[in-house]
Amino acid sequence: MPEGDTVHRAADRLHAALAGQTVLRSDVRVPRFATADLRGAVVDEVVARGKHLLMRVGDVTVHSHLKMEGAWHLMRRGERWRRPAFEARMVLETTAISGDPWQAVGFALGELDLVARDAEHEVVGHLGPDPLADDFDRDEALRRLMADPARPIGLALLDQRCVAGFGNDYRNELLFLRGVRPETPAGEVDVAAALDLGVRLIRANRHRDERTTTGDTRKGQRLYVAHRDGRPCRRCGTPIARGLLGDDALTERITWFCPNCQR
């Protein structure tokens, strides 16, 4: 599941290959941007902001959000795509320092927009501080998380307006490690400690291809509670429980927790 660390790694890979290169071909397979033509523009940089990826090309920013199934693949012209062509939402082909031209293909992107560079705020201006950014503002993130003491901490942590980058895995894992149930009101939680732990976890995984919160990167051993409903808690042996938490039926997300270790 793509979370902030996944998107930052994707931005790193794309930036390393494409920055400074000239666009040879662009194909945006979204109706309202289908006529966009980026040929001749230079890719200045590719950066992440939380779970959002920003590709700055000439005077345009290509904004994408992976949601649940999206991914950006980088390959050389002529290489076989690793996902079906009907899933491609954008193809960007550029020059390369050496070898065949690069192709960056965005598959199954949950969101794709082309906006003017000076209008990036329209797509990411609502986001809270990003713990993987050099300018992460801890105090502002804490203020936003604690703005509504009655709100369940599990909802506040997933709200990208509070902190940009935490997804469902990090939400559930850090609450387990803090011994807190997801539905607990934020006002009853040491929010600063929860935030600091979440920041440490996501930064520790910044350059890992396989996310882990246990410190063990072996398959099946990487997480404490997420996706482990019915299996024994790694600390006490109690079966991990599964629930739902959201402001309404449309925003409900799965929660995992240990009924014994989390109170």
Looking at the domain that runs over 4-124, which CATH code has it been given? 3.20.190.10
pTM of the model: 0.94
Using the predicted structure, report yes or no on whether residue 32 has a pLDDT greater than 80: yes
Sheet bearing 88-94, strands edge to edge: 23-28, 88-94, 102-107, 71-76
Q: What is the pLDDT of residue 190?
A: 98
Q: What is the pLDDT of residue 250?
A: 85
Apex CA 8: angle with CA 4 and CA 13, to 5°?
A: 150
| Active site residues per annotation | 2-3, 51, 253
pLDDT per residue over 197-238, tens digit each? Answer: 999 999 999 999 899 999 999 999 999 999 999 999 999 999
> Which residues of the chain are in CATH 3.20.190.10 domains?
4-124
Which of residues 1 and 261 earns the better pLDDT score? 261
pLDDT per residue over 111-161, tens digit each? Answer: 999 999 999 999 999 999 999 999 999 999 999 999 999 999 999 999 999
Q: What is the pLDDT of residue 88?
A: 98
Q: What is the pLDDT of residue 174?
A: 98
Using the predicted structure, report yes or no on whether residue 2 has a pLDDT greater than 90: no
Using the predicted structure, report yes or no on whether residue 1 has a pLDDT greater than 80: no
> Which residues of the chain are in CATH 1.10.8.50 domains?
138-257
Architecture of domain 138-257: Orthogonal Bundle (1.10)
